Structure 1
Amino acid sequence: MSEDQKRVLEQQLWNIANTLRGKMDADEFRDYILGFIFYKYLSERMELYANGILKADKITFRAIRERTKEGKEYIAAIREEALEKLGYFLKPSELFSEVAKRGAGTDEGEGSNFILEDLQKILTNIQLSTMGTESEEDFDNLFEDMDLNSTKLGKTPAARNAVISKVLGHLDKIDFALEQTERDVLGDAYEYLIGQFASGAGKKAGEFYTPQAVSTVLARLVTTGKKKLKSVYDPTCGSGSLLLRVAKEVKEVGAFYGQELNRTTYNLARMNMILHGVHYRRFDIRQEDTLEHPQHLGMTFEAIVANPPFSAQWSANALFSTDDRFSQYGRLAPSSKADYAFVQHMIHHLADNGTMALVLPHGALFRGGAEQHIRRYLIEEKNYLDAVIGLPANIFYGTSIPTCIMVFKKCRENPEDILFIDASREFEKATNQSFLRSSDIERIINNYRERKEESRYSVRASIKLLKENDFNLNIPRYVDTFEAEDAIDLDAIASEIRELDRCMGDTDKQLAEYCKELGIAAPF
């Protein structure tokens, strides 16, 4: 599939999504449309896999007569293999296209094509098919945000049925081209939709999506010098897009790990993983509060990326002073700002050969108190901080504050200095948002990888210099962005003023003569 065809697919899906626009908020109809796309994906993947098994028998999955003895035998055999390979199972009658056909032509009040009950049962059956298997946790309550009986879809069951049948009918006409394994076309389109929803979700967008350009920077930072990764972890994984972005920068990622507090976003992350072809055994996404109830204790990861909620509140309970994640620092991050609690959590999970990069508000660079104490420990005692990168303001959805990226390594190749990059002035301005361009990303990454010093852009600051600045990491302290103004020729300006005075004198004389001829008083 070409780039043009991919863009057509993205636009088709967005147009279908807009079928529900006006009936509910963006974040609500997002859950429905992405859920239906995911159901269609599962169906097509199931049919493709089953047809491969049945090829020797010269029949297709859809042709199986489910109620016959032979049909039941086929289904039982395919079910067993599908649960092992795919992690779920759908019967031929439960395939997306079959449901869409049954709903086609539905008129309000006409019951023969009523599909709501069947559809709800099928979505439940997908989950039930995994019960007692390895994939059970990955499919648990995956469709719980798709309430087909919500009055937001329509006041009456018939009205809701008509809307859903229309959406399924439009989706059914789109070929996801799953057999084209060389490119993750549908995965890219799904990411496009998530980004589109984020752009219209206001403050809520930050809960589930990191702008693609920022994701690319984080991903390229943590994959520097790596072609394969054993594992990648995101403690605030949102929709999982950042984890998947890391995978695009290397040939192979062994396993994906993440944790997410918001239940709806957690469901979206699992769907995103499966839809991108990540086998259920290769990802472990958990739903809980990362700081209060960490789910991956005892594990370390080769790459860690995160865009945590900026200056979030957390309990900072005194009991955490004995928690292995925080105990060595002697101080906990303040309860009103959890930024360094996330840093400490991530450091704890970072492998000795790993790299972590996270986005933080600028205040994390210079605030005092406990945060200054933690910064000092990370730099002076551990020497883990590798780079600080200033980003432009207004590049995140839902907030205009300037942000930075902090990069940490436990085994640094350049332990004698820390690289500071001021990329805050390198961006493209749009109507409501600023964007990092490809050239901006390349400049950041090249400077980081080569540890280059560029005038008014990047500098390597010694640990001694940071100590002299009391571990204040405010970027302007190290990267001098001052641009001297052009020299002013005072003699030329004085000469110009004298010439203007002479011209004004001549004009006054001429005006006085005109007033005299007219017999009126001069204005001066």
Structure 2
Amino acid sequence: MDISTLERWLWDAACEIRGATDAPKFKDFILPLVFFKRLSDVFDDEFAAYVTQYGSEEVARAIIEADHADALATGRKPIVRFYIPQAANWHAVRHHPADGKLGEFVTDAFRRAVELNPDLDGTLNVKDYNERQSGQRILDDDRLVALIEVLNRHRLGLHNAEADILGRAYEYLLRKFAEGQGQSAGEFYTPKEVGWLMAELLDPEPYTTMDDPTCGSGGLLIKSRLYYHQRHPDKPGGAPHLYGQELNPATYAIAKMNMFLHDFGNAAIAIGDTMRRPAFVAEGAGLMRFRYVTANPMWNQKNYTAELYENDPYGRFALGTPPASSADWGWVQHMAASLDDRGRAAIVLDTGAVSRGSGSKSSNKERSIRQAFVENDWIEGVILLPENLFYNTTAPGIILLLNRAKPAERRGQILLVNASNYFVKEKPKNVLTDEGAAAVVEVYRKWETREKLSRVITLAEAQEADYNLSPSLFVEVNDEAYHRALTQILADLSEARAQREQADSNLRKVLGTLRLSGTGE
């Protein structure tokens, strides 16, 4: 099955519940079903291979079951990827009657799969398909049957969809859900163009480690590993070992499923609050240290106190206590503390993270922390991205690059890149262009000042700017680049007018229902 067919099919399934508009609301029901179908179809393929080998279903089943029991007891890997019992496989789910208990059966089948395959813990046993709101099931039998029937149109076995293709389709589904969820989408999804740019900038080496302490659906980790395989096809066994931690249980489940679907099942994904309780701790109570960190933490979080920073048992915040108004530099300090002596990081942040407090005569916590990072020579670069790329805001973001061991030719310098003009306008968001991403990677690798794009500054220049590291302060772009075609402006105005007229029409209907006039009399 090609990628386009797979993507259309999965989105059709998502829309079957209640149309494209409401599909994102049901993502936590849809994604585990897709994942379970893959597990079940793959097991069926593996079982069929053993039937062919031994000439008997009974013998094949006995061998697989005995091996699975021994593998569970000894901790070794079984001969099949995941053991899915007949009584709780896709066939059983599909043929269960819509008798009001289908949701309960699906939930039980999923939990049975997790019970028999402990590596799946936190994936299929998170969602209750019998869940209710105000006494009514969120997903009743009729809609659940419709969803199952659409998913049943194609197989997701070993010979039907390669892991790479299925993983890309799963990411497509996540993007479609993100487009429909607006603000909340930022909690689990980073635009793929930004993720690929971060992967190229980090360019992970063989036999290393990579962490994302706010991993969401796991997309940044996955893109970095896929990029590694593109760069090092001769060393597949040397791919970076992935680590991630996610606070939200539903998003954590998506991340684990995403890893399995990409065939990255050895990734270590943990659940919990990284700032309060980091999951990856080395012997002796210190943090595990990684060669690479990639992350897009929630911007300007306000739920961490000075007490947490000042009494941290891991000593992560020695460069300063962030303000209560924003945890941005708390996250940056955590990630810097998580890097090994040669470690590098790519972190998406709000643009204000590199400029807040600069130019003020009064003291400022964030400026003081930035100053410490500059003086330690840990900041390698700052890349200003276009506006309206991210699903949780229209504001532009930046990619902050850290390097604990800059090469000699880069020491005492910081690369500032203004890529704010490299976008195309699409719905519902702008998209970073391939040309823009390539230009950013090129100036980073060549480490050069380029007119209207990049500038290499010294630490002394950063000090003169009062540690304002905003690329727009140092790199002027051509004003003409901001000028849009008149046809585009007119199209936007026409769209805005149509939206206003629709809103007015809706309001008049509401007022009419309330027996009020449109003038408020």
RMSD over aligned CA atoms reads: 2.8
Once the two structures are superposed, what CA deviation does each residue of 1:5-24 show, in whole Å capped at 9, x if it has no partner?
A: 21011001100110112599
Match of 2:177 among 175, 192, 197: 197
Match of 1:40 among 37, 55, 69: 37
Aligned to 2:206: 228
Contact 1:366/1:472 (8 A) holds in 2: yes
Aligned to 1:510: none
Secondary structure in 1 aligned to 2:377? coil
Displacement of 1:359 in angstroms is: 0.7
Once the two structures are superposed, what CA deviation does each residue of 1:180-229 show, in whole Å capped at 9, x if it has no partner?
A: 68661111111110110001001010010001011111111111xx4425
Aligned to 1:21: 18
Q: Which moved more, 1:471-480 or 1:159-168?
A: 159-168
Aligned to 2:372: 377
The runs of at least 4 consecutive aligned structure 1 residues that moved more than 6 Å come to none
Match of 2:215 among 215, 230, 237: 237
Structure 2 CA distance for aligned equivalents of residues 301 and 50 of structure 1:
39
Residues 266-415 of structure 1 mapped to structure 2, 5 A cutoff:
266-279=252-265, 282-297=266-281, 298-318=287-307, 320-323=309-312, 324-329=314-319, 331-368=320-357, 369-380=364-375, 382-413=376-407, 414-415=410-411
Identity over aligned pairs, percent = 29
- The TM-score with structure 2 as length reference comes to 0.81
Q: Cα–Cα, structure 1 residues 327 and 141, in superposed 2: closer, same or farther, change >3 Å?
A: closer
Structure 1 CA distance for aligned equivalents of residues 50 and 352 of structure 2:
58
Displacement of 1:340 in angstroms is: 0.3
Once the two structures are superposed, what CA deviation does each residue of 1:85-120 show, in whole Å capped at 9, x if it has no partner?
A: 4664211332213432x14xx5x66x8xx6444322
Once the two structures are superposed, what CA deviation does each residue of 1:339-386 show, in whole Å capped at 9, x if it has no partner?
A: 000000000011222210001111111112111111111111x10100
Residues 214-225 of structure 1 mapped to structure 2, 5 A cutoff:
214-223=194-203
Residues 177-192 of structure 1 mapped to structure 2, 5 A cutoff:
177-179=157-159, 184-192=164-172
Structure 2 CA distance for aligned equivalents of residues 164 and 181 of structure 1:
24
What letter is aligned with 1:328?
A
Residues 1-150 of structure 1 mapped to structure 2, 5 A cutoff:
5-21=2-18, 25-59=22-56, 63-64=57-58, 75-80=65-70, 84-85=77-78, 88-100=82-94, 102-103=95-96, 115-130=102-117, 136=118, 138-150=119-131
Greater Rg by CA: 1
What letter is aligned with 1:29?
F
Structure 1 CA distance for aligned equivalents of residues 327 and 308 of structure 2:
16
Secondary structure in 1 aligned to 2:193? helix
Residues 463-478 of structure 1 mapped to structure 2, 5 A cutoff:
463-478=459-474
Matched, 1:453 2:437: no
Secondary structure in 1 aligned to 2:127? coil
What letter is aligned with 2:107?
Q
Secondary structure in 2 aligned to 1:250? helix
Once the two structures are superposed, what CA deviation does each residue of 1:226-255 show, in whole Å capped at 9, x if it has no partner?
A: 442521110100011111011111134242
Contact 1:357/1:408 (8 A) holds in 2: yes
Aligned to 2:435: 439
Structure 2 CA distance for aligned equivalents of residues 27 and 356 of structure 1:
31
Displacement of 1:442 in angstroms is: 0.8
Aligned to 2:224: 246
Contact 1:232/1:253 (8 A) holds in 2: no
Match of 2:242 among 248, 251, 256: 256
Secondary structure in 2 aligned to 1:249? helix
Once the two structures are superposed, what CA deviation does each residue of 1:500-524 show, in whole Å capped at 9, x if it has no partner?
A: xxxxxxxxxxxxxxxxxxxxxxxxx
What letter is aligned with 2:77?
E
Q: Cα–Cα, structure 1 residues 49 and 71, in superposed 2: closer, same or farther, change >3 Å?
A: closer
Once the two structures are superposed, what CA deviation does each residue of 1:98-148 show, in whole Å capped at 9, x if it has no partner?
A: 432x14xx5x66x8xx64443222111011113xxxxx3x42242344322
Secondary structure in 1 aligned to 2:398? strand
Secondary structure in 2 aligned to 1:184? helix
Structure 1 CA distance for aligned equivalents of residues 308 and 167 of structure 2:
42
Structure 2 CA distance for aligned equivalents of residues 156 and 34 of structure 1:
18
Structure 2 CA distance for aligned equivalents of residues 181 and 14 of structure 1:
16
Contact 2:353/2:366 (8 A) holds in 1: yes
- What stretches of structure 1 of length at least 5 have no aligned partner? 131-135, 486-524
Structure 2 CA distance for aligned equivalents of residues 168 and 472 of structure 1:
54
Secondary structure in 2 aligned to 1:459? strand
Once the two structures are superposed, what CA deviation does each residue of 1:12-43 show, in whole Å capped at 9, x if it has no partner?
A: 11001101125995443111111100000111
Displacement of 1:176 in angstroms is: 2.3
Contact 2:294/2:347 (8 A) holds in 1: yes
Aligned to 1:419: 415
Contact 2:14/2:20 (8 A) holds in 1: no
Contact 1:88/1:127 (8 A) holds in 2: no
Contact 2:384/2:420 (8 A) holds in 1: yes
Structure 2 CA distance for aligned equivalents of residues 31 and 258 of structure 1:
20
Secondary structure in 2 aligned to 1:201? helix
Q: Cα–Cα, structure 1 residues 419 and 461, in superposed 2: closer, same or farther, change >3 Å?
A: same
Structure 2 CA distance for aligned equivalents of residues 8 and 374 of structure 1:
50
- What stretches of structure 2 of length at least 5 have no aligned partner? 230-237, 282-286, 358-363, 482-521
Once the two structures are superposed, what CA deviation does each residue of 1:143-180 show, in whole Å capped at 9, x if it has no partner?
A: 344322235799579x9333222222221221325236
Structure 2 CA distance for aligned equivalents of residues 318 and 428 of structure 1:
44
